[in-house]
Amino acid sequence: MAGSGKAHLRDEADTILRVEDLNVEFPAGRGRTVYAVSGISFDIAKGETLGLVGESGCGKSTTGKAILQLPRPTSGSVRVKGNDLAAMDPESMRQARTGVQMIFQDPISSLNPRRMIGDIVAEPLAVWGPHDEDKQWPIVANMLDAVGIDPDVARYKRSHEFSGGQCQRISIARALVMEPELIICDEPVSALDVSVQAQILNMLEDLKAQYGLTLVFIAHDLAVVKNISDRVAVMYLGKMCEISESNELYDNPAHPYTALLLGSIPVPDPMANIDDVLGDEGELPSPLAPPSGCRFRTRCPLADEMCARVEPQMRRVSDDHYVACHHPLVSADPVGDPSSEVTISL
Amino acid sequence: MTDVGTDSDRLTRAEHNEPLLEVIDLKTHFQVEGGIVKAVDGVSFTLDRGKTLGIVGESGSGKTVLSRSIMRLITAPNVITHGEVRYDGRDLVTKSSREMKAYWGVEMAMVFQDPMTSLNPVVKVGRQMTEHIRHHLGVSKSEARATAIELLKSVRIPEPEVRIDNYPHEMSGGMRQRVCIAIALACGPKMLFADEPTTALDVTVQHQILNLLRQQQKDRFMTMIMVTHDLGVVAGRTDEIAVMYAGKVVEKAPTNQLFADMRHPYTQALLWSIPKVSQPKHTRLNAIAGRPPDLISPPSGCSFSPRCPYAQEKCHIEEPPLTAGAAPGHQFACWYPVGSPENEAAWERNLAAGVPQTLAAAGKLTATEELLETINLADDTSDHEGAGA
Amino acid sequence: MAKIIAARLLRLLATLFAVTFISFMMTKALPGDPAVAILGQDGIQNEELLLELRAELGLDEPIPVQYVTWLGNAVRGDLGESYINRGQSVAGTIGQRFPVTLQLALMAIIIALLLAIPIGVIGAYRQGKWQDQASSAGVQVALSVPNFVTGIFLIWLFAVKLEWLPASNWNRISDKGVIANLKTAILPATALALTQMAIFSRLVRSDMIATLQENFILSARAKGLSDRFILFRHALRPSSLSVATLVGINFGALLGGTVIIETLFAIPGLGFRLINAISQRDILVIQGITVFIATGYVIINTVVDLFYSVLDPRIRRS
């Protein structure tokens, strides 16, 4: 049994994306391997926003890119509406990929500085049509308008004439022109100032309602992820620790790692309790040689001998709340629960 | 080498509990092709011994330039500095870089934002920790090394005897920032500047580093200035907070007072725009309309006025001075401070008149309309920016 | 480290094989028949003598066979004999002349670096100020004056006017001792060094300017270290990667390219001999010296590559 189980997966008919047993490994020289993502599974229902959180090196960005087959995952399936992208030949994958778009962290460098905004946003249309420029422009203008950029002002300008927040809006417009069903947002607001960040988050919510978008929202900021996500998955060292409806996850974290993350957020309230744990800056486990059993056990206060030996499987905490931990902080169904068996057999 | 004051003189100042730092109308301007960038434009404050001041602002607010100006680390040939920085009774602004070397490291030290780039990649951690100990305190190589190992222990790096011979790239980000803190503490400075010390770090590491800074500050009775964009970082860890906007302090208050009773519309807007874990998912955020001003030709009057939902005619014309409020130590620069009847009247007037940023703040515009307003506002300043670039 | 060096040695062998093959082919392609060159007018008249000589030199064999024969001998240290000065072994000639050229090149590089590093560092430290402008102007002059002109000027100044040093000739250390040797070496080495100095100092300056913008320089300043310490102990090493590369390339080039200076100062160096051999179609000498210089080139650049990891420890890892 690879990975952390699939008890949390839903009926595939209700989902638009289903990722199963995803493994991404990179060669690291001298015959070593980076185990960036190891056997994770998740699904997303139409119109849902799934947040992926975790610290640097947890594999959240790699997971986002692996959905788009950038690069192709080492193993596992990525099914968009039932079609496995990982099994497709390059040409049909190229076509299938238009339904999935990506927005990156650094808005300025993800726009070609030499091209005009009108052309950048029209780029996907130039490949997939309509090829007639007169037909492209109304679509482009409509999208720029939707993201709050005046199309006539922006059309012949270049990216350096816009601020970071505006560039991010342009990137979003470019992702939207193909009318994708799924958008993967990789840290889309972390390079922005807080005041601009709020504008973009609000806009994403509006666009989602307007165009019926489904989002994967990857970020390290837990408050941002909670604000935008319907469900949140917490990742650590290439594994999924916990997945839950957002409010429930933040109210009742079941995984010790989730609790550690939540306890570390600096809260803008001077009355909030701050512990004075200093912690030792020891060697963090590396994705080159991840710990056996539960990968979090080397940092976990609850870890015991079983955690080193047996990898925990996903189990149900409550409706739409699953955790992969031998010692969850809130009570969970025992492993081998009949309902999880049913899900696995799907 | 200049002396930094006689011992008896300094002892008296300390006994009388005179503030360690007094900044008086400090201006740091940069001469550029398009004009003068007023990065810091008339900042004054005093900071008592052993206290922590948080300086909060967004990018371009001047918070980093301010901290570096106080420490006199800005040496660009196009810089113009006015005002006074009185450190322990002595004005630093008039001192040359050569004279400042007697202060740097010994009297005041700085922890920088990015531990990945603020350590020399080709020099072992040990030498980077000992070189200034030896330079300032004149101790032998082995004594300095012993001190460095002690310091690594105090910032809780395991196996300091091994780690001291590492190169920076052999350490994690959190470990490097601990080394940077140890370096800053090495010569026992009285004043510590921390410039976004945890922005580049993961949240669990950030938490520990902030705790470490607080503990070290207490143990060593240091005075500290913490520069950050994150109100969360300063909330529980400072005595006072100064909020900066467009090179100026727009509000300053003891931390509890500030959070309990924000008076400046920008402070309020900044806090409201941050998503918080305590809010349920999909809570609509109160975004601030528009974007930060152009520092070469800032808007006339109050520089926040183009984005402020309460702005009146007066705000666009006349700049509000930083004045004391009712609560001790609370200062703000606003004609219509939040919580005052004038403020409420201004809000009602703007709402009735359909002022876009007010409608946006009231949630009466959709995000797109709000954003279009944003662009229009931004376009007003884009010409100036073009000239500056 | 041992593994890296082993890999390097393997690459060196491959390079040497390619170099010897190409240079062998190229010397063969030179117009003119060595046998004719040796025998002169007599050879052209006496067909038999010519054939006999060709057979003796192995020139009647197919070219690939000639190469294999030569290579087989070369591996054993036998580079053959000069066609012109019969009885003079090529290896012996190189053994005699190479130390002279090596010393000259080494001294030139050292003098160049000793001047270039401070000039480049000051230029970067005082960027735009008079120190930078003055050194830039000086560097420009050094760059535009050919080294034989510099050589003539040095001879005029130190030998003719001041009479401090001899105008030409070469004293071997083994014959006359170190002092006498240096007296004859310093002027030609300096003449060679000035151009190198100009190039090196430009490179140090521009790399140093970039390094001085780094955050770790700001944090070093915030520690109260002296400017000189920061420049030489923090900024110089990360700024020397490009200059190290160029030192490797130019050092190799100097081994074969000092001929003008050797001629000017009447120095019995390798370059001098090489030009001589080329004009006489003395193919085995050309071949031997070429291979020797190429080997030197490859070795020097291997040393420089290994030196990178000393300059920047991060290179050791990847």
Q: What does the alpha-carbon distance between residue C88 and residue C83 come to, in Å, rounded to a whole number?
A: 9
Confirm if A26 and A36 have CB atoms less than 8 A apart.
yes
Beta bridge partners of A242: A234, A323
Determine the Cα angle at A220 with ends A198 and A322, to 5°: 110
Q: What does the alpha-carbon distance between residue B212 and residue C128 come to, in Å, rounded to a whole number?
A: 43
Last residue of a domain, one of B188, B217, B247: B188
Per-residue pLDDT band at C59 (split at 50, 70, 90): confident
Structure letter (DSSP) for residue B44: E
Q: Which residues of C touch B71 (CB under 8 A)?
A: 222
CATH 1.10.3720.10 fits C95-317, yes or no: yes
Question: To the nearest 10°, the Cα dihedral for A199, A202, A208, A209?
Answer: -130
Report the percent of chain B where pLDDT is more than 90: 69
Q: Which of B69, B118, B120 has the highest number of chain C CBs within 10 A, making it the mutation to test binding with C? A: B120
Q: B231 pLDDT exceeds 80?
A: yes
Contact (CB<8Å) B169/C314:
yes
Tell which residue, A190, A212, A216, has the closest CA to residue A40.
A216
Please indicate, yes or no, if residue B210 is contained in any of the structural domains. Answer: no
Task: Check if B120 contacts C (Cβ < 8 Å).
Answer: yes
Amino acid (one-letter) located at C151:
G
Please indicate, yes or no, if residue B145 is contained in any of the structural domains. Answer: yes
Domain ranges for chain A: 12-99+218-266+276-345
Please indicate, yes or no, if residue B286 is contained in any of the structural domains. Answer: no
Please indicate, yes or no, if residue B169 is contained in any of the structural domains. Answer: yes
Cis peptide before A71 (omega within 30 of 0): yes
Res A340: pLDDT: 41
Residue in chain B closest to C237 (alpha carbons) equals B122
Per-residue pLDDT band at B148 (split at 50, 70, 90): very high
Please report the beta strands in chain B, taking only residues with DSSP state E, as ranges in sequence order: 21-32, 35-47, 52-56, 79-87, 90-91, 108-111, 191-195, 223-228, 240-245, 248-254, 323-324, 331-332
Q: Which residues of B touch A150 (CB under 8 A)?
A: 372, 375-376, 379
Q: What does the alpha-carbon distance between residue C249 and residue C245 come to, in Å, rounded to a whole number?
A: 6
pLDDT in tens, A40-70: 999 999 999 999 999 888 999 999 999 988 8
Q: Which residues, in sequence order, are CB contacts of B117 under 8 Å at separation 6+?
A: C214, C215, C216
- Closest partner CB to C223 (pick from B105, B114, B167): B105
Res C176: pLDDT: 83
Per-residue pLDDT band at A342 (split at 50, 70, 90): very low
Beta bridge partners of B21: B47, B87
Last residue of a domain, one of B171, B188, B205: B188
pLDDT in tens, B31-87: 998 889 999 999 999 999 999 999 999 888 999 999 999 999 998 889 999 999 999
Q: B118 pLDDT exceeds 90?
A: yes
Per-residue pLDDT band at B199 (split at 50, 70, 90): confident
Q: B225 pLDDT exceeds 60?
A: yes
For tokens 């607010």, the residue is: B61
Poorest-pLDDT segment among B361-370, C16-25, C178-187: B361-370
Q: Which residues, in sequence order, are CB contacts of A145 under 8 Å at separation 6+?
A: A151, B368, B372
Residue in chain A closest to B384 (alpha carbons) equals A161
Q: Which of C219, C226, C316 has the highest number of chain B CBs within 10 A, making it the mutation to test binding with B? A: C219
Tell which residue, B319, B346, B344, B345, has the closest CA to residue B333.
B319
Give B 73-102 residues with CB within 8 A of chain C: 73, 77, 100-102
Confirm if A257 and A230 have CB atoms less than 8 A apart.
no
Q: What are phi and psi of A301, to 5 degrees?
A: -70, -20
Q: What are phi and psi of C146, to 5 degrees?
A: -65, 150
Per-residue pLDDT band at C259 (split at 50, 70, 90): confident
Domain ranges for chain C: 2-90, 95-317
Burial A10-29 (b: 16+ CB within 10 A, else e): eeeeebbbbbbbbbbbeeee
Contact (CB<8Å) B183/C223:
yes
Higher pLDDT, C10 or B121: B121
Report the percent of chain C where pLDDT is more than 90: 33
Per-residue pLDDT band at B387 (split at 50, 70, 90): very low
Q: Which residues, in sequence order, are CB contacts of B20 under 8 Å at separation 6+?
A: B47, B48, B49, B87, B88, B190, B191, B223
- Closest partner CB to C216 (pick from B102, B117, B136): B117
Q: What does the alpha-carbon distance between residue A251 and residue B301 come to, in Å, rounded to a whole number?
A: 45
Contact (CB<8Å) B104/C221:
yes
Tell which residue, C261, C203, A196, has the closest CA to residue B289.
A196
Confirm if A219 and A53 have CB atoms less than 8 A apart.
yes
Residue C77, Cβ density class (10 Å: 0-12 exposed, 13-18 middle, ≥19 buried)? exposed
- Closest partner CB to A247 (pick from B235, B280, B375): B280
| ipTM (interface pTM) | 0.86
CATH code given to domain A12-99+218-266+276-345: 3.40.50.300
Last residue of a domain, one of B130, B165, B188: B188
Burial B364-374 (b: 16+ CB within 10 A, else e): ebebbebbbbb
Question: To the nearest 10°, the Cα dihedral for B244, B250, B256, B257?
Answer: 180
Q: Which residues of C touch B135 (CB under 8 A)?
A: 224-226, 229
> What distances in angstroms separate CA B136 from CA A332, B146, B193, one per listed residue?
59, 16, 19
Res B2: pLDDT: 47
Give B 363-382 residues with CB within 8 A of chain A: 366-368, 370-372, 374-376, 378-379, 382
CA A49 to chain centre: 9
Q: A259 pLDDT exceeds 90?
A: yes
pLDDT in tens, A124-182: 888 887 888 888 899 999 989 888 888 888 889 988 888 888 899 999 999 999 889 89
Report the percent of chain A where pLDDT is more than 70: 94
Instruction: Give the distance from residue C56's alpha carbon to the nearest chain B alpha carbon, in angstroms.
Output: 60
Helical segments of chain C, H only: 2-29, 34-39, 41-45, 47-57, 63-75, 90-125, 130-144, 147-154, 173-176, 178-212, 215-222, 227-229, 241-257, 259-264, 270-279, 283-311, 313-317
Residue in chain A closest to B307 (alpha carbons) equals A195
Please give the helix or strand (H or E) that residue B382 lies within, else none.
helix B367-388
Please indicate, yes or no, if residue B352 is contained in any of the structural domains. Answer: yes
Contact (CB<8Å) C222/B109:
yes
Q: How many domains does chain B have?
A: 2
Determine the Cα angle at C103 with ends C102 and C104, to 5°: 90
Res A3: pLDDT: 47
Query: Whole-number mean pLDDT of chain B?
Result: 88
Domain that residue B183 falls in = 108-188
